[in-house]
Structure 1
């Protein structure tokens, strides 16, 4: 397979050789959108990295960006062999940059409104006048969370303050560590990856599962990788995720269930979120 074009802007996350070693010109870099901390992403996707490195017989590294906006910009400028993207950003990359979504997770993504376990608040409407922390404004979960607030009769940034954190787990850390924060909006998948002790300190106030149909992660190939590359990756990653012990364990840890091929119906489900995604990207 052709070597991946290297670009300034990716934050190197996983080292397949000695710590601090520079990537080689033949290394394959797999960008993962920064919905969790760098360390957490590297740990969670290590089984996939290792499997692809063995299969492709090339050094493979997991990379990400400091924030969602820079991730979108970096993906748009590249021709990555494989990108693990958020559903709305993946659709944007398809429409604007010639990427092709090939696989998506089987368990759907939805937003959760989380409060501390001891908080007596009974419903989302009772959060009026409080501070609710969300991930990056560009996160699909943030857009979903805004919808949940509106359905509860609250206008985001008017009836409630909406500070943001760069990742889902950082949003939960703020909730647990700052009494000025009353609630956090994060994904069900991010909540799943918490250890039992942390989950015990939190409570799900509201669950946006009724939206349904949105995948947690979409696997994409770049515009320079079509035909044999795309078919090979589709087949190989499906086999890894659904048929191997390491792949099934990774899917379970992530709460993704498994992987399946993307259909046109899947694209139609995510299309309503594309205008809001463009609006956030256009904001200063």
Structure 2
């Protein structure tokens, strides 16, 4: 063995163990309810808090659409997820464990252009409505609500599907729909320049907030540590800033009652 090679091996043995085998980062997947750039801006502080709390690197990722996110979750490509409430229940049935849920409620809001003659849900006959992803809980609650008003896709209304709730929100302004159904959280965060050009005509029933879940391969002690850190997050300066930007309000435990309430909204997956 050459002198140079001996020196190189000697340096390797002198390196700290942490540099010899850096831990693989936890993959934190967030469901794509807005654009990728918005997700990063909204949730990078949370990923940083994960990393600090667990003393372990964390990589923040998403997916191009709901369907891909659900498939990647099912295949176990994420160590942690923050997802729509019903998708959290679906993940639990696939082996994920409960960590926490946001304190805000998921609710759809019907919006139209300010100069539109549409004033209420009963005015939607013959109209085009844009919503995101048929799998989304906002889509399901809105479709159910419209049926209660006698409004059925393909019969007396036309429903068009957008890639995200954010894309759906702007469909009336782009002239692509008469009405959009989007998340009330996004509507509240919309800038005045666009919000002043639209108005609300109705809301869906509220649903539980976002669920944070951990894959079964994540050690239980890590899940417990993260759960406690999330419950404490709102009481930190970083948490106050995060909840102000995202509107999620805080984190709380996930109850059995919450999961039972969500059960009807995963039938779209379990009957396939």
Aligned to 1:38: 36
The answer to whether the aligner puts 1:235 opposite 2:224 as a matched pair is no
TM-score (norm 2): 0.86
Aligned length: 251
In structure 1, the residue matched to 2:268 is 276
Q: Contact 2:121–2:146 at 8 Å: present in 1 too?
A: yes
Q: Distance in 2 between matches of 1:25 and 1:158?
A: 55
- The corresponding residue for 1:219 is 212
Question: In the alignment, is residue 161 of structure 1 matched against residue 154 of structure 2?
Answer: no
Q: Distance in 1 between matches of 2:120 and 2:270?
A: 31
SS at match of 1:162: strand
Structure-2 separation of matches of 1:148 and 1:249: 35
Matched residue SS, 2:34: coil
State the TM-score, normalized to the length of structure 1: 0.83
CA distance in 2, matches of 1:184, 1:113: 6
| Residue matched to 1:254 | 246
Report the counterpart of residue 136 of structure 1 in structure 2.
133
Q: Deviations over 1:149-174 (max 9, x none)?
A: 11222012321111111101111222
Residue 28 of structure 1 deviates from its aligned partner by: 2.2
Q: Would the aligned equivalents of 1:79 and 1:225 in 2 still touch at CA under 8 Å?
A: no
Q: Deviations over 1:195-218 (max 9, x none)?
A: 22222222111012xx33x22310
Q: Structure 2: 5+ residue runs without aligned partners?
A: 1-21
Structure index of larger Rg: 2
1:175 match: secondary structure: coil
CA RMSD across the alignment: 1.7
Is the 1:80–1:224 contact (alpha carbons within 8 Å) kept by the matching residues of 2? no
Q: Kindly provide the CA deviation profile for residues 125-153 of structure 1, in whole angstroms up to 9, marking residues without a partner as x.
A: 21111110000111111111101211222
Q: Following the alignment from structure 2 to structure 1, what is the Cα–Cα distance between the partners of residues 109 and 270? A: 23
Paired with 1:271 and 1:99, the residues of 2 have a C-alpha distance of: 16
The match for 2:105 is 108
What CA deviation, in whole Å up to 9, does each residue of 1:230-262 have, x standing for no partner?
A: 10110112212x211221222232222211000
Q: Is this contact kept in 2: 1:149–1:156, CA < 8 A?
A: no
Structure 1 residues 25 and 85, CA, compared in 2 at 3 Å: closer, same or farther? Answer: same
| 1:93 equivalent among 91, 94, 114 | 91
**2: CA distance, partners of 1:138 / 1:65:** 15
Alpha-carbon distance between aligned partners in 2 of 1:277 and 1:190, rounded to the nearest angstrom: 26
